Amino acid sequence: LTGCCVIVLDAIEAQGAEYERLAMRDALTGIGNQTAIDEALGVELTRHRSSNQPLTVVELQLDDFAGVNATLGRSAGDGVLASVAAVLADTVPAGSAVARVEGDRFVAVLPAALDDPTGLDTGRMFSSVAFIRSVVGRPSMSAPPIFS
């Protein structure tokens, strides 16, 4: 009977871990959500304060995204969000955190020890988003002047 209880407890623990993982993910895009980015930012801020190394936080928002949903429908908009999330996740350095925090807003927290102050492959990121825009015909990405 003891072995049976251990198996049940292991299953409950595994289920709890899965719920915890799902609670940190954006259901539509599969990348992190606000909770995940808050946690990553807390870790990186602590590291930044103790090591005095730079910390990079980037916020990106799609321009005229409401127009995609209005003219092409929500399904197309969801596809755009998922595609942009995949591009962001693919273009940040290993160890970075990327999240969709609200609607068409994304945030990336990048590790402190990077040669490039942003650590992003901005050329590749913007060309990928431009390709998505050419297919859909609307959204582009706005970012702080550092990307201009």
Q: Which helix (H) or strand (E) holds 72?
A: helix 65-72
The helix, strand and coil proportions of the chain, stated in percent and rounded to the nearest 5, come to 55, 15, 25
* Structural contact between residues 105 and 61, judged by C-beta atoms closer than 8 angstroms: yes
* Structural contact between residues 15 and 8, judged by C-beta atoms closer than 8 angstroms: no
Q: Which helix (H) or strand (E) holds 130?
A: helix 122-136
Per-residue pLDDT of the chain (148 residues; tens, 9 = 90+): 455 665 666 666 666 666 566 578 999 999 999 999 999 999 999 988 898 888 888 888 888 888 888 888 899 899 989 988 998 898 888 888 999 999 999 999 987 555 555 556 666 766 766 666 666 655 455 544 333 3
**How confident is the model at residue 132, as a pLDDT?**
66
Residue 34 CA to its chain's centroid (Å): 9
List, in order, residues 6 or more apart from 101 with CB less than 8 Å away.
Answer: 33, 34, 37, 107
* Structural contact between residues 37 and 48, judged by C-beta atoms closer than 8 angstroms: no
**How confident is the model at residue 105, as a pLDDT?**
93
